[in-house]
Structure formats: structure tokens, C-alpha cells
Amino acid sequence: MKCNLRCSTFMRLTPFLVSLLLILCCASNMYSQDFRYIDYTIEDGLPIELTKCTAQDELGFVWIATDEGLVRFDGEKFKTYPNALYSPYVKFLLLTGNKRLLVAHDLGIDEIISQPDTTFFKPLIAGNREISDTTLWYPKKIFEASNGDWWISEPESVVVYRNGKIKRYKFGDDYKSNSFTRSFHFAEDIHGNLWMISYTGALFRYDNNSDSFEWMNTGVEQKINEANAFVITPSNDFYIGCFDGLYQISMDYNHVVTEEKLLAEIENVSFVTTPNDNGMYVGTWEKGLYQVLFRDKGVFVQKLHENIGLIVNHIYETKNNDLWVALDQGLLFLEQSFLQKILFKGLDGSPFVEGIAAYNTEKKMYVNTRHNVFELTPNSYGYTTKSIIWQPNNALLHIANFNEKVWIAVENEVQLYQNDSLITKYNFADNGRYIFFINNDNEENLWVCQDYADGITKIDAEGKIMYYKEEKGILKDTRLKVVRQNPLDGAVYAAGVGNSYLYKYSRIADKFNDISLKLPFESKKEFIVEDFTITKNNSLWLATNVGLLRYDVQEKTIEKIDLGKNYSDLGVRAINVDKNGNVWLANSNGLLEYDPKNGNVFLFDEKNGLLAKVFNYRCIHADENGRIWGERQKD
């Protein structure tokens, strides 16, 4: 069978979930990756805690290089192959471009032929404890060039494997490595040139015409002590990880150095992953694990793991952007969270987000805390946040948006802003208490739900106020909590408390009609619809205090949804639907994804990256890019 890794549940979710973003307030304005950490040691089945390298094959099995032989992990248990190779001292693993899995050990290079129920090991290049022209001498690392050549590092030389034969390029004692795992490192630039750096910091370029290596004067060779990592970016910047930190070298087309600098002061760099547009991961000897983020204003360094004693030997990034980290202390798995946190801090220091609104034309988001409104603008690495409204003496309770207009519920009044400036105010102190919910429809009407107020209120596009109470179809003493519009036919619905829990607005009559149906169950509780969402098949999904219900508008039926014994009867605080038709709902256990097609339910909680399980009411927003936004409730 194929590998059944612990992260396989998330892999299955990938087609349904584009991205899930969690709105939080923190003391940073950066956007970074979040992970869940799993440690593996001897107690979990490793034969030895020292692991040197990892790679994942096409079946999903994770292979680990150790001094006790090769180890395979299937997601549940480890299997050791102590006698599969001529030497148990395994140094490196490489998955080639054509998906061959190579393993380097002290006495040669083999291929791992992984099959669902068995594994074969095929010797490819023999090794020897003595140097010869036909065998390898303690190979440490393998690099595959774009032309298919395999370049192999040895303690004092490098070897190319080409057309079934090897050729050795010797270097003097000045470039000799005294490390058991590091010697020469290879990388290829965007023009197909092969580059190599020695452990001592000397940079070389391979010349195809002369079949030799040319030393390059970089200006940083004297500064580099113990070059343990070397990568080249798509923009042709060279990164060298060494004892003193992470260096960057830029060159022109003629291979002349145009800039050299210490990019990040991370001590004892041991490994660097290939960078992308957002950044890269950096491992160290005993100084921890880091993420280096590229930002418009420079480089931001974030520590990923608090254990500064970690000795990182290798980092493997999977197709799903998870990380396997080979350590002296075992194996560390960093599972990417689908919860992307937008981190920012209000001027008031408030850790509580009250509302979210989307400006779809500009793809911006608006978020309000108790005294702040923020504008979130997408960029290449996430979102830039800017405070646009600050009211230290008032409570900002909810937010809505239509094009360039931003509406704010401020205690018992509604304020309209445009271009960050206050345009007008509407005071509803005589109608009730706090305004807890506002929402726009596509005709620029703003619908207002107010505590201790009968019915609901509308502010139309011209600024006219209209009250919808008993004379407009809403029964006396009816408390409505939420108003939303069907994006397909433009129908406006309102939902709330009691037997008359659902209304539909008639534009022709300018009134609401009670379309509530008898509930298909008995309940001693007062029935409350906290939120609802509408899907393409004209179903209204009701988030209620007794669970999830589906109201069919066309068939005029209502049913309670079976979410399993753990979730079916729990109250639902918020709900929305993504572009794939999956229903997202928040309850006291966390955030649930429900697939109406097959009935599958998946829970997101603290194990998946949530900082708290309880969400705010009416807090889930689905944007046009398929992302789900959620607000964490105040602790």
C-alpha cells in the first residue's frame, strides 16, 4: 500500500480548500508560514537519534539517512534496512528529476526502488576505502545538473558521473574539508552554469569547454568560515550559509561580482533550502531553525522552533510545503497549517477582531477591532495592513463595505466612510441598544440589526432610513440577528429568534414575508438562528443553537444535518460556503468543513493551528478567491 502519513488527511483536503486565513491581532505586521510540530526519536522507532538527510519517494514514503542504515517511514512506523547497502553509514538522499531515489553511503551510491509492498536496492556506483579512478571515495552529497550529470562531493575532490563513467576533479589541501558530512556544494544558475563552493569558502565555476573548474574572486572568501550550504535563486543571487551567517552574492552576466553582503546574521548555518519568491528555510548547528522572509523593506528572520539546541543536518521540503528536518536529536516534521494568520496589532492593543468585510473590486479586506479599522491589501507574500480609522473612545462593533464605501457600527449609530474620511452618521439610540450586525446588498442598501430592537432597519443608497417592523411583515417582538443576500437571484433573507425565525424580503411590496417552517425535531430551547449562508442550489444553511439545518427554498423543506455524534447537536456560531460548495461552520470545538456531497466532516482546532477553538458570531467570510476568513473570539 502507499504511505499513510499523518498529514494525508490534509493532502486529501487540498482540492477543496484553497486557503484558510485566521484574523488575529498580534505584535507584528508580517505574514509567515505556520506549522504543527511532530518530533520522532528512538522511542518512536528510529534506530538512532542522529539523522543526516531525508527524502520522500513517489509513493509517499519518507526515507531517512542514519549511521545505522537506511530507514523508511510510512506515516505510522519506521522500518530500518541495516544491511541493504555495503555501508550502514548513509550520508545523503536525492530524488532526481525523473523520480529516481538515490542514496549515498560511505561505499558508493545505490538506487532505492520503492514499491508498495517491497523495496529493492540497486548498486549504481561502487565505492572504496582507497582512492581509485573507477570508484568513489567516501561520497557525501549528490547534485543533479540540468543536463543529467550527477556531481558528487568527496572529502578532497568532486566527481562527475556521466554516461555510466566517473571522472574526478582534485583540489588541493587548501580546500580540504574536515567535516564528516560537508565538503563541496553545488548549484546551477539560470543560464545553466554549474557552480561549486568548497567548505573553506572558495567559489568555482565549471567551464564546459575546458572541462575544468575556474576559481572566482568573490570578495567574501576570507569572511566565510565553514561553508555548509550553497543555493542560487531564480534571480541569480548566490546564498552561502556559513559559521558567521547567511551571505548574498550578486553577479552580472560576465560573472563579475556586483554586490556582496551579509544577508542575515544567523550563526552556525548548517543548511539552506532553495529560495522562492517569499523566502527560504535555514537550519543551524545548535542555534535553531529559521524562516528567512523576503520583504519589500528587506529581510525578516523568524525562528520556527524554540529549541535553540537543535543541530540541523538537512531540511527536505515536500510537495505540500511540509518540512522534514534531519537532526542530531532525531527527526522533526513540520506540517504546514492551512490556517494562515494575518498578524497585526491595533493602536489600542486589542486582541479581538469584531468584523470582516471585503472590497472585491480591489481585492482588499477590511477588519475592525474594538477601536480600529484596518485595510488589508494583498501583496506577493500575504497582506499589508494599514490602520485607517481610530476611535479610542468608542466601541466599533461591526463593519460592512460596498466598493469604496466603508460602513462602521459604532455602538448605537452607523458611520459611513469614504477614502478614509467620515461622510455621515446615522444615530439609532431611540430604536434600541448596540448595533451588532450590518451588511450591504448589491443595490447599496445597508441592513442593520440592533439589540433590543424589533425587526430590522435599512439605509438605502440615497441615505433614507426605513424601519421594517410589524407593519412591514416582521412579527412584533421578533429579534433578527442576520441579513444576507442570495448572490444568484438577489433575494434578501433575514433570520433570528423564535418560531418565526426566517423571513424573505419582497422588493415589490417592500416588506418581509415569514417563510419559517415547522422544525423537524422537538427542542426545549428557544430556537435561534445565529447566521446563515446560501448555496448555488438555493439551499439556506442555518447556523443555529441546536446544530446545522438546511432549508430548501424551492422544495420548502427543512432538515437537520447529521454531523456525527460529536457535532450534530452543538450550537453553530457562524457559517459560510466556499467556491466548491463546502460548508464551513464554527462551533465550540473549532472550525468544521462539511462536504454536502458525501457528508464528510473535518475539524480544524488547536492541533491544526487555531490559537483558540471558539470563534466570534457571524465571523466567517468567503472571498472571491475561495479563501475562508475567520475571527477568533476574545480569550
pLDDT, greater one: 540 or 251 = 540
Kindly indicate the confidence band of residue 331, based on its pLDDT and cuts at 50, 70 and 90: very high
* Alpha-carbon 72 to chain mean position: 27
Statement: residue 635 has pLDDT above 60: no
Per-residue pLDDT at 83: 93
Neighbours of 409 (CB within 10 A): 27
CA proximity to 52, closest of 333, 319, 334, 325:
325
> Mean pLDDT, to the nearest integer, of 439-455?
94
> What pLDDT shows up at residue 11?
30
Give whichever of 21-25, 72-76, 370-374 has the largest mean pLDDT: 72-76
Task: Set out the domains of the chain in order of their start, with CATH numbers.
Answer: 35-336 (2.130.10.10), 341-631 (2.130.10.10)
Q: What CA–CA distance (Å, rounded) separates 237 from 250?
A: 5
With bands split at pLDDT 50, 70 and 90, how would you rate the model's confidence at 24?
very low
pLDDT at 31: 41
| Predicted pLDDT at 384 | 78
**pLDDT for res 603:** 87
List helix spans (H) across 355-498. Answer: none
User: What is the structure's pLDDT at 527?
Assistant: 96
Measuring CA to CA, which residue among 172, 245, 161, 237 is closest to residue 202?
172
Percent of the chain with pLDDT over 90: 62
Predicted local distance difference test score (pLDDT) of residue 631 = 66
Q: Give pairs for 455-459: CB < 8 Å, separation 24+.
A: 455/480, 456/480, 456/483, 456/494, 457/428, 457/431, 459/414, 459/426
HEC profile for 516-549?
CCCCCCCCCCCCEEEEEEECCCCEEEEEECCEEE
pLDDT, mean of residues 307-336: 90
Instruction: Tell me the one-letter amino acid at 303.
Output: K
Q: State the pLDDT at residue 350.
A: 55
Distances (CA, A) of 158 to 89, 129, 197: 19, 16, 11
Q: Check residue 336 and give its pLDDT.
A: 74
* Banded pLDDT at 562 (limits 50, 70, 90): very high
Give which of 394, 371, 381, 411 is closest to 25, Cα–Cα: 371
Burial class of residue 631 in the structure, from the number of CB atoms within 10 Å of its CB (0-12 exposed, 13-18 middle, 19+ buried)? buried
| Averaged confidence pLDDT in the chain | 87
% of the chain exceeding 70 in pLDDT: 88
Of the listed ranges 198-207, 286-295, 347-356, 374-383, the least confidently predicted one is: 347-356
3-state secondary structure 191-205: CCCEEEEECCCCEEE
